[in-house]
Amino acid sequence: MGVCVAAILVSGAVFAGTQEPPADTILFNGKIFTSDSSLPYAQAVAIRGERILAAGDSATVKKLAGAQTKQIDLGGRTVIPGINDAHNHVDLHPANEVDVETKSVNPSVAEVNAAITAAVAKAPPHALLVANIGGTVFGDVSVNRDSLDKLAPGNPVELETFTGHGFILNSEGLKFFGVAENSKDPLGGRYERDSAGRLTGTVREYAGLGMQRYMSSKVSDADAMTQLRQTFDEAAKFGITTIQDMSDGTPPERDVALFEKVPVQIRVRIMRMPGTTAAGRDVAEGQGMPRHPNELITVSGTKWMLDGVPVEGTFTQRGEYKMPAAPPYDEIFRKLPLTFSEKEIAAMLQESLKNDDQLIVHVSGYVSAKAILDVMDASGGTAVWGKRRVRFEHGDGIFADLAPRVKAYGIVVVQNPSHLMAVLTPDGNVFAEAQPLKTLIEAGIPVALGSDGPTNPFLNIMFASLHTSRRSEAITREQAVVAYTLTSAYAEFAEKDKGSITAGKLADLAVLSQDIFTVPVPEMPKTESVLTMVGGKTVYDSGALKVAGAKN
């Protein structure tokens, strides 16, 4: 459908039966990528109130200006709809936490040990030391509670895999997180013990989520606000206008209270991500909350993790889990075991129906993707599930045989581009079937993007356009922007209001420091927003643009 801006305006005016009031703001003389397939590129956009009045060529759109209209000369700059980061974890950290620096995402045992020793020498007494590790350290059973006690007898130490699904703690660390020798394993989680029943320091899956909850409960509101202000300011500077936040670290009630107090200037959707105890899943958390605590905050959806991530092998014995000897490495996704039984998965689906609440599931491997599809088959099929937009976070294990079923169920796949950068394996074209991206989009499956890693959306757009784990699945920069805006809005049932620069939608957009569609690949991550708007209001302005108050 060819778009005719004049026709839209005329029909709007006729409908209103009166002369249209002028635009509040007009941005003109730009390269505006709209994410709207009916008019992919425009030169100008007019905004009135919180919504977009029109998009089109500069001459036509400028006719909507009145004497008071703010006119912004884009000077040829690129504009995109505001980024909607569909998968983010806004976490809180103790103020005196010490980050143990290592050089790579998968450091060696020697490097981690040396870094801990160096950190202990400088750290305040009792400060929590946190080091990120990968499969090398996690797979080496010589790294455990006792080895860490020798390195850091007086400080709590937390080694966390970069996926956030596996941890190794020392004795002080176990104490810090409130894990006792008699602590019971929560459903879907584990505190590993040796043959004598003593804690080894390894903590997995939902037991780790409990630890993070415990830690953030100790962060004061004042410290939390400082951290959140920084998080949201950074997001606005990156042109992010919506964050979809998993409330795993903090219960959703506290998230809302803190976000309101900051106050958050961009939109935040909080997705409930409750924990488990030995008695089962917490199915009540956040269910009675208002859906829109204020105009920028939404609380909707509930997330459960159906499996882990290959780095930790979920519940396989530490040290036993091995990478296949040679590519392709798809086996690591094909064999990843379930965290919950199929009976629990069936219960999750029924809860989402009962609460009329979107079900969001962490699905990394093939087994979990197949399991939930099978349960959907057995509980009403596409008639019940076809329009409920069940979300698969990651969806790495949607192998070719599952893709048609994913499509039939209207499942939304939320992929995270930093996960596509061969972080799990040596370099090269390493997957034959895992981590599909382009083929899902071409099959008509809605694919949204979220960070779940580095927040920089331009770094992530670069990653999606490279897809070094499986180069044939790379997508174009334009496809990545559509996924990161319009499809991310679809993933939260908000595509009628957000996600593209289209007349009638909320004026959420970002003017960029450079043209992300044409700059050389290595330049992409250096992109910033020079002007970010949320609902027509400026939430970040670098001062780079020329603004005129009144002109024709």
Where on the chain is the footprint of Zn ion (CB under 5 A)?
452
Q: Which is nearer to Zn ion, 330 or 452 (CB)?
A: 452
- Measured from the CB of residue 89, what is the shortest distance to Zn ion in angstroms? 6
Task: Give the CA angle between residues 9, 10, 15 to the nearest 5°.
Answer: 100
209 contacts: CB under 8 Å, gap ≥ 6: 189, 248, 273, 275, 276
Q: Which is nearer to Zn ion, 163 or 241 (CB)?
A: 163
> What is the C-alpha radius of gyration for the chain, rounded to an integer number of angstroms?
24
> Are residues 31 and 41 in contact, defined by beta-carbon separation less than 8 angstroms?
yes
Q: Distance (Å, rounded) from C-alpha 448 to C-alpha 443?
A: 14
Q: Which is nearer to Zn ion, 452 or 473 (CB)?
A: 452
Q: Distance (Å, rounded) from C-alpha 135 to C-alpha 17?
A: 66
- Measured from the CB of residue 436, what is the shortest distance to Zn ion in angstroms? 19
Q: Which is nearer to Zn ion, 271 or 462 (CB)?
A: 271
Q: Which is nearer to Zn ion, 48 or 213 (CB)?
A: 213
442 contacts: CB under 8 Å, gap ≥ 6: none
Q: Which is nearer to Zn ion, 89 or 477 (CB)?
A: 89
- Measured from the CB of residue 503, what is the shortest distance to Zn ion in angstroms? 35
Amino acid identity, position 170 = N
**What is the rounded (10 degree) CA torsion for 348, 349, 355, 358?**
100
Helix (H) or strand (E) holding 232: helix 221-237
Helix (H) or strand (E) holding 510: strand 509-512
- Measured from the CB of residue 419, what is the shortest distance to Zn ion in angstroms? 10
DSSP-assigned letters across all residues of 513-551? SS-TTTS-GGGGGG--EEEEEETTEEEEE-S-SEEESS-
> Are residues 458 and 423 in contact, defined by beta-carbon separation less than 8 angstroms?
no
Tell how strand 267-272 and strand 129-133 pair up: unpaired
72 to 47, 320, 498: CA distances (angstroms) = 11, 60, 22
- Measured from the CB of residue 215, what is the shortest distance to Zn ion in angstroms? 17
Which residue number places its CB atom closest to Zn ion?
A: 452
Q: Which is nearer to Zn ion, 209 or 494 (CB)?
A: 209
Task: Give the CA angle between residues 440, 444, 448 to the nearest 5°.
Answer: 65
Q: Which is nearer to Zn ion, 86 or 129 (CB)?
A: 86
- Measured from the CB of residue 449, what is the shortest distance to Zn ion in angstroms? 13
Q: Distance (Å, rounded) from C-alpha 436 to C-alpha 363?
A: 13
Dihedral pair phi/psi, residue 491, rounded to 5°: -65, -15
- Measured from the CB of residue 273, what is the shortest distance to Zn ion in angstroms? 9
Q: Which is nearer to Zn ion, 241 or 418 (CB)?
A: 418
- Measured from the CB of residue 248, what is the shortest distance to Zn ion in angstroms? 8
- Measured from the CB of residue 249, what is the shortest distance to Zn ion in angstroms? 11
> Are residues 505 and 82 in contact, defined by beta-carbon separation less than 8 angstroms?
no
Q: Which is nearer to Zn ion, 192 or 452 (CB)?
A: 452
Enter the tokens of residue 466.
């490279």
- Measured from the CB of residue 87, what is the shortest distance to Zn ion in angstroms? 6
Q: Which is nearer to Zn ion, 452 or 495 (CB)?
A: 452
Counting beta carbons within 10 angstroms of the beta carbon of residue 86, is it exposed (0 to 12), middle (13 to 18) or buried (19 or more)?
buried
Q: Which is nearer to Zn ion, 162 or 315 (CB)?
A: 162
Collapsing DSSP to helix, strand or coil, 362 comes out as: strand
Tell how strand 166-169 and strand 129-133 pair up: unpaired
Dihedral pair phi/psi, residue 273, rounded to 5°: -140, 75
- Measured from the CB of residue 203, what is the shortest distance to Zn ion in angstroms? 17
- Measured from the CB of residue 413, what is the shortest distance to Zn ion in angstroms? 14
Q: Distance (Å, rounded) from C-alpha 90 to C-alpha 268?
A: 10
Q: Distance (Å, rounded) from C-alpha 172 to C-alpha 161?
A: 19
- Measured from the CB of residue 534, what is the shortest distance to Zn ion in angstroms? 24
Dihedral pair phi/psi, residue 251, rounded to 5°: -60, 150
